[in-house]
Amino acid sequence: MSLQALTTGPAALLAAFLTTTSPAVAQDGPAETAEEAEPTWEVRAASLAQWQSAVSREDSIDGLARLYIDLLLETDPVNGMLFGIHGKDGDPAYYDDRLADVTGTGWANRKLGHAVMRDRLKVIDPAALSPEDQIDFRILEHQVALRMLQMSELQAHWDPLTYVSGRGNAFAGLGTAFSRLLLRDYAPLRQRLRSFGKRCEATPQYLFDARQVLDNEERVRPTAVSKQVSVARLRGMTSENGIFRQSLPELLETAAMAEEEKAAILESCDEAVASIDRFARWLEAAVVPRPDGEWRLGERLYGRKYDLYMDYPLGPKELLAAAEQSLDETGAAIAATGREIHDGYLADAIEAGEIRPAAELDDQAVVRNVFARVAEDRSTPDTLIADSYAMADAIVGFVEEHDLLDLPPTSKMRIEDIPPYLSGYAVAQIVVAPPFKPELPSVWFWDLPMLRTDPSFLKEYNRPALAEVYIHEGVPGHFVQLEYSNRSERIMPRVFRNGPMVEGWATYIQAQLVDLGFTVYPDSPYGRQLQFMVNRKLLLRSIINAIIDIRLHTTDWPEEEAVRLMIESGYQEPGEANGKLTRAKLSSVQLATYFAGHRAILGILEEYRTAQGEDFSWKAFNERLVTAGSPPFFALRERMLGPQP
C-alpha cells in the first residue's frame, strides 16, 4: 500500500489515507466458503483527513482507541495479523494482501498520525473520566508516545532489522508479514495463499523503498549485532527449508486452486525471493562495512523508554537496587538447598572420589555439582518438542488438583520449531491468539537452530527446567493468562498488553507451582529440592535480566562483566549467557519486565492475602489477576485491593 505524499498542511498530507478501493477477491477454483465472507473491520473514516477530523471530534476513550487501531492498520497493514483483523469494507483480505509503505513519506505519515493522536489526548482531562476510561487513556497515551519515541529518537527506520523482522513497537516487518499468513488457519488456505502471493508481488518495491531509506552512509549506522542478525534472518527466510522454498510449495500442493493461479503465486514469490537475496547482498556489501552504531541507549533515552514501556512504580535505578538485593537473597536460598541435598543426591560420585563432600566445598561448587547432575537429564534438539508436549498432563493435573485456576484446553496451544525470521533472539517464545481472534490457537516456538549452535544450551534446558519453561510459556503461564486477557471487554489492555504484567504473571506462577510442591521427580527423595533449585535458578535469570539490561544500557558496564555475572552468579551455561547478551544488545527494557512484574505481583499478593484472611484462596486471587486483561500495575493493584487512599 502506498500513501500519497502531499506537500501542504497536516490535513492535506493525511488526505490519501484509507482511500484505496477494495479489490475483489479472485474467484478461480471452487466457490468460496461462507467462512471467507466473515465480518471485517469497520473503519471510522474514509480518508486520513477524515480520520483526523474524527479524532478531533471523538469524545470517548474507547472511540479514540478504535481510531488509533485504524491508524496502526492503515500505516502498517501487517499489524492486522497481530491484532486478528484481516479485512476491511467487505474485503476479507484487505490488510492481508498488503505491505506497509516504507518510503520516507510513509514514515512521515506514521509520525504525523501519531502526532495528531498525541495532540488530541493532550486536551483531555483524565480526572474527568471514569476509572475504566482513565486506565484506557493512560495506556493509549503511553502507546502513542512509545511509538513516537521509536520512530524519532530511536530511529527505527534506520535499522535494517526493522524491515526484516520488526523492531519494538514501531513496525511489524517482512518476516511477520509472510509467516503469520501461514501460522494459523484463521481463513481458508487458498485465501491466505492468495494474500501470500499479493505480498510477494509487493516485496521488491518494499525492499527497494527500504534500501532508499537505509542508503544514507552518513546517518544510517546500524549496530554490529543488528547487521549480523538482519542478514542471518534474510538468509533464513530464503533457505531451502524456509517459508518460500519449502512451506509455500507444500501448501500449494494441497490447496483447492486452479493450477494457473498456483503457478502465478510461485512466480511472484520467486521474484520476492530474488529481491530478498539482492537486499541481503546489498546489506552485506554496502551497510555491514559501515562503522558500527551504538547499541547502548544511555541513561536518558533508556529512562524515557522504560517509563513508557513499563508504566511501573519503580524507576530504573530503584528496580536495579531491588534486583541486586534479590540476587543475593535468591542465590543464598539456592546454596542452602544445595547443601541440604548435595551429599545424599551425589553419594555415588562422592564415594567414587569424583567430587568432595559439601563440607569441603564453597557454595558455588556445591550448587554447580547439583546442577551438573541435573543437566544429565535433558532432551536433544530432535526430541525437545515431543518432550515439551509430554510435560502437559503432569502440570495440568497439578493445577487442577490444587485448584489454582480454571484452564483453557491445552489443545489450543501448539509447540513448533521457530520460523527463520525469529531465530536468534530467545530460546523459547510464544505467539498467542490475537485479541480480535481469540478462538485461534497459540504457538510456542523453540529456537532449535539456536539450540544446535552450542551443546551447552540443552544443559540449561534439562528436564526440570523444561517443565518450568512449559509452565512459563504455556500452562498456566503466558498461554493461559493471555487467553483470559483476550476475554477482556476493554480494548486497550487487551490489545496493548503491559510487559511487566505479562512476564510477571508467567514468572510468578512458575514459583507458585514449585512452592506448592510440583516436581518432575515426584518419586525421588530429593525431587522437591531439585525442582526448587531449578526454579530459583530461573528466578535468578529474571533478576539478572533486569540487572544486565539496566546496567548495559545506562552505563559503560563491560559486556564481559555481564556474561560473567550470568555464568558465575546465575549458574548459566555459556551458550545461554552469550545468547542473552545478544538479546540485550538487540532490545532494551523488555528484559527488565520479568523481575519487575514478579516483584509487583508478590507485593499485591501479600496485601491481598492479609485483607482476605481465612477467606483467601489461590484460585480467587489468580483468576482475579488474569481476568483484568493485561493492564499496568497501577490499575491492577486497584483492581485487586480497591482504591488506594
| Per-residue pLDDT reduced to its tens digit, 375-434 | 999 999 999 999 999 999 999 999 999 999 999 998 899 999 987 766 776 788 888 899
Cell 498467542, residue?
432
By the 8 A CB rule, do 202 and 99 touch?
yes
**Mean pLDDT of the region 325-345:** 98
pLDDT of residue 458: 83
pLDDT of 15 above 50: no
More confident residue, 517 or 25: 517
The dihedral through the CA atoms of 186, 171, 203, 20 has a sign that is positive
For residue 32, what are the contacts with CB-CB under 8 A and spacing of at least 6? 25, 188, 191
What pLDDT sits at residue 84?
95
Percent of the chain scoring above 90 in pLDDT: 82
Of 55, 40, 135, 108, nearest to 437 by C-alpha is 40
Write down the pLDDT at residue 42.
Answer: 67
Looking at residue 641, what is its pLDDT?
93
pLDDT value at 227 more than 90: yes
Question: 144 with 118: CB under 8 angstroms?
Answer: yes
For residue 12, pLDDT over 90 is answered with: no
Contact yes or no for 296/283 (Cβ under 8 A): no
- Residue 517's Cβ-count burial label (10 Å; 0-12, 13-18, 19+) is middle
Following DSSP, what letter does each residue of 263-287 receive, concatenated?
A: HHHHHHHHHHHHHHHHHHHHIIIII
**Phi–psi pair at 632, nearest 5 degrees:** -65, 165
Q: Report the run of H or E that residue 442 belongs to, with start and end.
A: strand 442-446
> Would you state the torsion angle of the CA atoms of residues 279, 285, 291, 297, taken in this order, to the nearest 10 degrees?
20
| Amino acid 80: pLDDT | 95
Q: Which of 73, 113, 114 is nearest to 97 (CA)?
A: 73
Q: How far apart, in whole angstroms, are the C-alpha atoms of residue 640 and residue 432?
A: 25
Residue 17 CB contacts under 8 Å (≥ 6 apart), including other chains: 3, 45, 47, 48, 49, 51, 74, 109, 113
Q: Are 196 and 99 in contact (CB under 8 A)?
A: no
Q: What is the mean pLDDT of residues 19-29?
A: 34
CA dihedral of residues 321, 322, 324, 325 (deg, nearest 10): 120
pLDDT tens profile 127-168: 999 999 999 999 999 999 999 999 999 999 999 999 998 876
Which of the four pLDDT bands, split at 50, 70 and 90, describes residue 76? very high
The CB-side HSE value for 357 (13 A sphere, CA atoms) comes to: 4
For residue 371, give the nearest of 397, 402, 345, 351 by alpha carbon. 345
Q: Tell me the β-bridge partners of 444.
A: 415, 430
Residue 467 region, left (φ>0) first, then alpha (ψ -120 to 50), else beta? alpha
pLDDT at 6 over 90: no
